[in-house]
Amino acid sequence: MQIKFKSLKLQNFKSHRDLTVNFGEVTKIAGDNAEGKSTIGESISWLLYGIDLLGNKLDPTPVTYEADETLVSLLFNDGQKDVLLSRGLKKGRASYYINEVPSKAGDYNELLDNLFDKDLFLSLFNPNYFFTMKWTDQRAMVLQYVTAPANKEVFAALPKAQGDKLAALVKKHSLSDIDKLHRDKKKKLDKQYIAAQSKTKTLKEQLEEDAPRVPLESLQAEKSIFTKQLNEVQEVINSASSTNNQINTLNGRIKALLDERSRMQEQWKILKAETIEDTCRTCKQPLKGDAVKAAEEDKEHRKANFKTTYDKTVADRKALEAQLAGLTFVDVSEQMAKAQELQQKITPIEAEIRNHKQFEDKEKQMHKAVDAEMETLDSLNESIFIVDAVKAYYAKEAELQAAKVDDLLDNLSIKLFETQKNGEIKTTFEIQMDGKDYRKLSLSESIRAGLELRDVLSEQSDVITPVFLDNSESITRFKEPLGQLIVSRVVAGEELSIKGADE
Ligand SMILES: Nc1ncnc2c1ncn2[C@@H]1O[C@H](COP(=O)(O)OP(=O)(O)OP(=O)(O)O)[C@@H](O)[C@H]1O
Ligand SMILES: [Mg+2]
């Protein structure tokens, strides 16, 4: 898109009561100091945005003469059509005209916004303007027109391991999320790793302390000797105890039968002494002859039954006594002592064997802990690797982007990034010419720097505008800039002269 100025008309704009400029490809303005050269350029930024060439608010109302209204009109071509814009100022009230039609400020500004970005236009029109912006805006403007390197481009420029790792990870997360994720993970894993290390250390120390002194095989051999002996003794004790138990049982049962005999003897006395009453025990009526006899028979019957039971008790006891007589009590106290002695030997051996088993378990635990520690270390290293890879990515991206910008520049160089002490990349913006900071440049050097930069911006943005090169007498040579050139020069003793189209 190319903006071409055709003509400019100033009425009561600062020192200019009435001035018309017809622009050519090059428009030369000359004249002594204070002849109104700068004012011409200024009138254009005022017409468009109500500001001076450096972006400050401007009131162009003449102060040296009486004037009804200030009015600036610019006829230009926007690449397709001619546009005539005018801005007026009368007693502090602004007025706007688009192609001579009075317009609202909003419509006027909208038309301009649709044409070009304000900062871009001012940067292209006045080579000094760019440097008056905040560095962040300067940076944004330069980068706006330089495409950032694509992910793939950066991955390819990184060491292969880093590039491959990030290429795989970005399928799932954004780079900044990957960074956040693994910084957080690293923090946690750092702690986890320290804990894992101390756990294995404790387990190893414990193992050293608890290590069994006698080998398991010796313990088992020793135990089996004592167990065999114990089993033999136990067998004796067991078989003895079966006989002895039998004797005890028999003695118990004989005693019970003896007790039963004594009780029955007492009952016998009572039964024998029982008298036969001749009156009824309940109604007290004298019993008849048969009844008495029946009572006597009943008593005899009961006595006979009793005797049978008594005889059986005695016979049972005698049978048990005969059985008892066939058994001999076996004394196993010696064997019991021996068994106890053997058990006392076996118990500590068993404890030692258990200790072996526990030791094996602890060993397993320790190996598990070592594995866990190694796993944590692997994950930790992975996260460290990824965080470093992201850092390297940003550094490489910055490097590639800076290289792209650098490719556009001849004498200038632009620093877009700065590596901090911790290795992280910080954005910055510094323009240098021939290795010198912009701020250190001489007047002519800074004009040349401005011209080079505005040409780069013009090329990259595809917007070509006229450039107003004020005070050109202070610069002896410069490369012809892109777009129409409006150049002013102080010439001592001369009145204002403007040589533009056809002049
Ligand atoms: N509002 C105003 N009304 C009237 N005159 C003004 C107003 N503002 C500035 N001037 C004067 O207009 C004149 C022209 O100024 P201008 O800056 O355009 O001169 P110049 O040709 O660029 O001079 P130099 O060579 O010193 O840069 C100066 O005398 C200045 O004091
Ligand atoms: Mg001037």
| Ligand 2 midpoint to CA 435 (Å) | 30
Q: Is the dihedral of CA 42, 45, 51, 53 positive or negative?
A: negative
Q: What residue's CA is closest to ligand 1, atom 23?
A: 34
Domain range for 269 is 216-354
Q: What is the CATH number of the domain that holds 345?
A: 1.10.287
Percent of the chain with pLDDT over 90: 80
CA–CA distance, 329 with 396 (Å, rounded to integer): 101
**Do 242 and 349 share a domain, yes or no?**
yes
Q: Is residue 259 part of a domain?
A: yes
Within a domain: 440: no
Angle at 50 between CA 46 and CA 56, to 5 degrees: 95
For a substitution probing ligand 1, which of 35, 42, 447 has the most ligand atoms within 8 Å of its CB? 35
Q: Which two tokens stand for residue 86?
A: 């005018």
Which is it for strands 425-433 and 412-419: parallel, antiparallel or unpaired?
antiparallel
301 domain residue, yes or no? yes
Q: What is the DSSP letter of 43?
A: H
Mutate to test the pocket of ligand 1, among 11, 32, 39, 474 (most ligand atoms within 8 A of CB): 39
Q: Is the CB of 62 under 6 A from ligand 1?
A: yes
Amino acid (one-letter) located at 476: T
Provide the b/e sequence for 75-91 (b: ≥16 CB within 10 Å).
bbeeeeeebbbbbbbee
Q: Tell me: pLDDT of 501 over 70.
A: no
What's the burial of 269, exposed, middle or buried (CB within 10 Å: 0-12/13-18/19+)? exposed
The mean per-residue pLDDT over the stretch 91-104 comes to 96
Q: How many whole angstroms separate alpha carbon 78 and alpha carbon 69?
A: 27
* Share of residues in the chain with pLDDT > 70 (%): 99
Q: How far does residue 37's CA lie from ligand 1's centre (Å)?
A: 8
For residue 285 and ligand 1, the question of a CB distance below 6 A is answered with no
24 lines ligand 1 (CB under 6 A): no
**Residue 364 counted as domain residue:** no
Closest ligand 1 atom to residue 62 Cα is 3
Among all ligands shown, which has an atom nearest to the Cα of 14? 1
428-454: b (≥16 Cβ within 10 Å) or e = ebebbbeeeebeebeeebbbbbbbbbb
Distance CA(148)–CA(405), nearest Å, equals 10
Q: What is the DSSP letter of 59?
A: -
Q: What is the pLDDT of residue 261?
A: 95
Report the 10 Å Cβ neighbour count for 71. Answer: 20
Residue 490 CA: nearest ligand 1 atom is 25
pLDDT at 418: 86
Q: 265: how many CB neighbours lie within 10 A of its CB?
A: 10
> In this structure, are residues 320 and 250 in contact, taking their beta carbons and an 8 Å threshold?
yes
pLDDT band at 286 (very low <50, low <70, confident <90, very high): confident
One domain for residues 237 and 111 = no
- The pLDDT score that the predictor gives to residue 115 is 95
How far is the C-alpha of 440 from the C-alpha of 433, rounded, in Å?
9
Mutation to probe ligand 1, out of 11, 29, 37, 59 (largest number of atoms < 8 A from CB): 37
The region of weakest confidence among 3-7, 151-155, 182-186, 206-210 is 206-210
How remote is the CA of residue 35 from the centroid of ligand 1, in Å?
7
Domain end, chosen from 354, 371, 404, is at 354
Please state, in angstroms and rounded to a whole number, the distance separating the CA atoms of residues 466 and 481.
9
**What are 327's two structure tokens?**
């058994």
pLDDT at 487: 96
Total domain count, the chain: 2
* 371 lies in some domain: no
**Three state DSSP letters for 440-466:** HCCHHHHHHHHHHHHHHHHHHHCCECC
Read off the pLDDT of residues 205-252 as tens digits, 9 standing for 90 and up. Answer: 999 988 888 999 999 999 999 999 999 999 999 989 889 999 999 999
> Which of 339, 354, 369 represents a domain boundary (last residue)?
354
CATH code of the domain containing 79: 3.40.50.300
Read off the tokens for 288: 């008849």
Contacts of 103 (CB under 8 A, 6+ apart): 96, 97
**In this structure, is residue 470 part of a structural domain?**
yes
pLDDT at residue number 477: 86
Q: Tell me 57's DSSP state.
A: B
Report if residue 426 sits inside a domain: no
Q: In the prediction, which pLDDT does 502 show?
A: 54
Inter-CA distances, 489 with 14, 72, 300, 492, Å: 19, 22, 170, 10
Cα–Cα separations (whole angstroms), residue 306 to 92, 273, 274, 302? 151, 14, 14, 6
Q: With beta carbons less than 8 A apart as the criterion, state whether 441 and 433 touch.
A: yes
* CB 150 near ligand 1, within 6 Å: no
Q: What is the pLDDT of residue 417?
A: 83
Is any ligand 1 atom within 6 A of the Cβ of residue 66? no
Q: What is the pLDDT of residues 411-467, one digit of tens each?
A: 999 988 888 888 777 889 999 998 899 999 999 999 999 999 999 999 999 999 999
Mark whether 224 and 345 lie in a shared domain. Answer: yes
Q: For residue 135, give the nearest of 416, 441, 457, 476 by alpha carbon.
A: 416
Point out the domain boundary residue: 304, 323, 354: 354
Local confidence band at 298 (pLDDT 50, 70, 90 cut-offs): confident
Residues facing residue 86 across a β-bridge: 73, 97
The predicted model gives 491-503 an average pLDDT of 86
**How many Cβ atoms from other residues are within 10 Å of residue 473's Cβ?**
13
Asked whether residue 145 is assigned to any structural domain, the reply reads: no
Q: Residue 206 C-alpha to ligand 1 middle, in angstroms?
A: 93
What pLDDT band is residue 393 in, cutting at 50, 70 and 90? Answer: very high
The pLDDT value given to residue 463 = 96
The predicted model gives 477-483 an average pLDDT of: 91
Residue 301 pLDDT class (50, 70, 90 cuts): very high
Cβ of 33 closer than 6 Å to ligand 1, yes or no, is: yes
Q: Is 67's C-beta closer than 6 angstroms to any atom of ligand 1?
A: no
Residue 278: C-alpha distances to residues 275, 286, 291, 484, 491 (Å): 10, 6, 8, 168, 181
Instruction: At 401, list the tokens.
Output: 């982007």
- Neighbour count for residue 270 (Cβ, 10 Å): 8
